[in-house]
């Protein structure tokens, strides 16, 4: 993060400087080649790679104590339950939630947001307003659009400036007595922009709105303290923070969860079932119907252990150095235009290359073993804001190194030569 790394929250995460070369050995996929070249993986905003500890945690569950949870008195079931619920406790500590029952396990950020829109959204009425921002991922747009269609609520959009920063004055002007929900990203997946969420939450609370924060991108790069932020909902995905795919978290204030109707019906979310009616389980299980991704939850707990063992201070400092190094090269690279230059920015470099479609750039880079993301990044309104169909996005993680940034720019030279 260009400036966020100096924040007090990161200072609370004490860790020695990151030994990146050593840490790379923790990730087996980084040892492979692609098209005869060492893999340069710069698509971390889409999904991060997994360390051996996460892979082993899942393997160990399936090999030694595979059983369904919560429902069995036998030893394997109790062992699996302890490991799965232990992961919930790790999540609670990681994001500083007050209570473990406020941690709902989901399949990812998308399901977490849909849960809130579908359940909390049932209390909204025609004419109520939902405020989002222009930089949102589709997963923090479409669920609210669907809610607006069902309930005749109104969707408002706060604009961003040319640097990709939220225009806070216009955000504030869109808040009013009809605003019921504010949903915004902590860190943009397309631009890297980091929003001042604590201040924005305070603004929204002053008009009586609840706030949901999409933390999918932020969770692996920034310390998250939901108590300090004072948000009502916080959503993130396990696979962005070195954990398994198909895992996610919704943090929500217990008072809200108690008042919200269930999102899905089925096993484990009930206390009693009769044909005349049913009653719901206690939190958090009221919102966790059916057999969950047990191995994935345990793997998510292992991923959190891994990140905490390194320290977000060390990770953030290293990623900020990579972003500065890449940004300096980008400024000097002919024909390259950066898309997203916010002052507070995470380790994402989005850009276009004059005369070459981003998909062609990505294809050429792939022939050299370099994995980047090209396209609209599930953020079509952002692309429209900048008047481009797509961008090339290089996104960094704790295991990336400067020589991989160099490889990226050598690949861009090759792309220009091929299209000259």
Q: Return the structure tokens found at 399.
A: 């295991």
**Residues with Cβ within 8 Å of residue 324, at least 6 apart in sequence:** 2
Q: Return the structure tokens found at 348.
A: 């994402």
**pLDDT above 90 for 125:** yes
Of all residues in the chain, the percent with pLDDT exceeding 70 is 96
Q: What is the pLDDT averaged over residues 349-365?
A: 98
Contact indicator for 217, 189 with CB cutoff of 8 Å: yes
**Residues with Cβ within 8 Å of residue 134, at least 6 apart in sequence:** 157, 158, 159, 160, 166, 381, 382, 385
**pLDDT above 50 for 7:** no
Considering the chain, what is the average pLDDT of its residues?
95
Contact indicator for 71, 291 with CB cutoff of 8 Å: no
- Which residues participate in catalysis according to the annotation? 378
Instruction: Give the phi and the psi of residue 69 in degrees, each rounded to 5.
Output: -105, 165
Contact indicator for 234, 83 with CB cutoff of 8 Å: no
**Residues with Cβ within 8 Å of residue 414, at least 6 apart in sequence:** 364, 368
Instruction: Quote the pTM value.
Output: 0.95
- Tokens 């504010």 sit on residue: 182
- Tokens 């507070």 sit on residue: 344
CATH code for the domain defined by 54-308: 3.40.640.10
**pLDDT classification of 3: cutoffs 50, 70, 90:** very low
Instruction: Give the phi and the psi of residue 212 in degrees, each rounded to 5.
Output: -110, 130
Residue-wise pLDDT for 369-401, tens only, equals 999 999 999 999 999 999 999 999 999 999 999
Residue-wise pLDDT for 53-92, tens only, equals 999 999 999 999 999 999 889 999 999 999 999 999 999 9
- The SS3 call for residue 288 is coil
Q: What is the pLDDT averaged over residues 203-226?
A: 98
Residue-wise pLDDT for 164-211, tens only, equals 999 999 999 999 999 999 999 999 999 999 999 999 999 999 999 999
Distance CA 198, CA 251 (A): 16
Q: Return the structure tokens found at 229.
A: 């932020």
Residue-wise pLDDT for 8-63, tens only, equals 343 334 557 899 999 999 999 999 999 999 999 999 999 999 999 999 999 999 99
**pLDDT above 60 for 2:** no
Contact indicator for 120, 260 with CB cutoff of 8 Å: yes
Query: Residue 356 forms beta bridges with which residues?
Result: 353
Q: Tell me which architecture the domain covering 4-47+312-418 has in CATH.
A: Alpha-Beta Complex (3.90)
Residue-wise pLDDT for 108-122, tens only, equals 999 999 999 999 999
Between 45 and 4, residue with greater pLDDT = 45
**Structural domain boundaries in the chain:** 4-47+312-418, 54-308
Q: Which of 52, 111, 119 is closest to 293 using CA atoms?
A: 111
Q: What is the pLDDT averaged over residues 116-135?
A: 98
pLDDT recorded at residue 358: 98
Q: How many CB atoms lie within 10 A of CB 89?
A: 12
């Amino acid at each position: 993060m260009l400036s966020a790394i100096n924040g007090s929250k990161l200072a609370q995460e004490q860790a020695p400087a990151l030994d990146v070369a050593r840490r790379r050995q923790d990730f087996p996929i980084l040892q492979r080649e692609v098209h005869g070249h060492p893999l340069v993986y710069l698509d971390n905003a889409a999904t991060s790679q997994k360390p051996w500890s996460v892979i082993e945690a899942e393997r160990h569950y399936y090999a030694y104590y595979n059983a369904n949870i919560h429902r069995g008195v036998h030893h394997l079931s109790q062992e699996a339950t302890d490991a799965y619920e232990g992961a919930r406790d790790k999540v609670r500590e990681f994001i500083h939630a007050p209570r473990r029952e406020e941690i709902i396990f989901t399949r990812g950020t998308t399901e977490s947001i849909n849960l809130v829109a579908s359940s909390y959204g049932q209390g909204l009425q025609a004419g109520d307003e939902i405020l989002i921002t222009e930089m949102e991922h589709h997963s923090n747009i479409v669920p609210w659009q669907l809610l607006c269609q069902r309930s005749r609520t109104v969707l408002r959009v706060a604009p961003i400036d040319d640097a990709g920063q939220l225009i806070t004055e216009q955000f504030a002007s869109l808040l009013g007595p009809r605003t019921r929900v504010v949903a915004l990203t902590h860190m943009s997946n397309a631009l890297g922009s980091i929003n001042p969420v604590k201040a924005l939450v305070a603004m929204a609370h002053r008009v009586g709105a609840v706030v949901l924060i999409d933390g999918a991108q932020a969770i692996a790069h920034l310390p998250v303290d939901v108590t300090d932020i004072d948000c009502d909902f916080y959503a993130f995905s396990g696979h962005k923070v070195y954990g398994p795919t198909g895992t996610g978290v919704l943090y929500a204030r217990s008072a809200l969860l108690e008042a919200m109707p269930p999102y899905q019906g089925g096993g484990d979310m009930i206390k009693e079932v009769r044909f005349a009616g049913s009653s719901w389980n206690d939190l958090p299980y009221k919102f966790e119907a059916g057999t969950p991704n047990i191995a994935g939850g345990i793997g998510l707990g292992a991923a959190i252990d891994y990140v905490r063992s390194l320290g977000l201070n060390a990770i953030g400092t290293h990623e900020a150095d990579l972003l500065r190094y890449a940004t300096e090269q980008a400024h000097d690279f002919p024909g390259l235009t950066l898309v997203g230059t916010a002052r507070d920015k995470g380790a994402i470099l989005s850009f276009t290359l004059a005369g070459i479609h981003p998909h062609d750039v990505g294809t050429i880079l792939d022939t050299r073993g370099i994995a980047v993301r090209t396209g609209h990044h599930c953020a079509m309104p952002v692309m429209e804001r900048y008047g481009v169909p797509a961008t090339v996005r290089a996104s960094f993680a704790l295991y990336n190194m400067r020589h991989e940034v160099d490889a990226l720019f050598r690949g861009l030279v090759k792309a220009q030569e091929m299209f000259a």
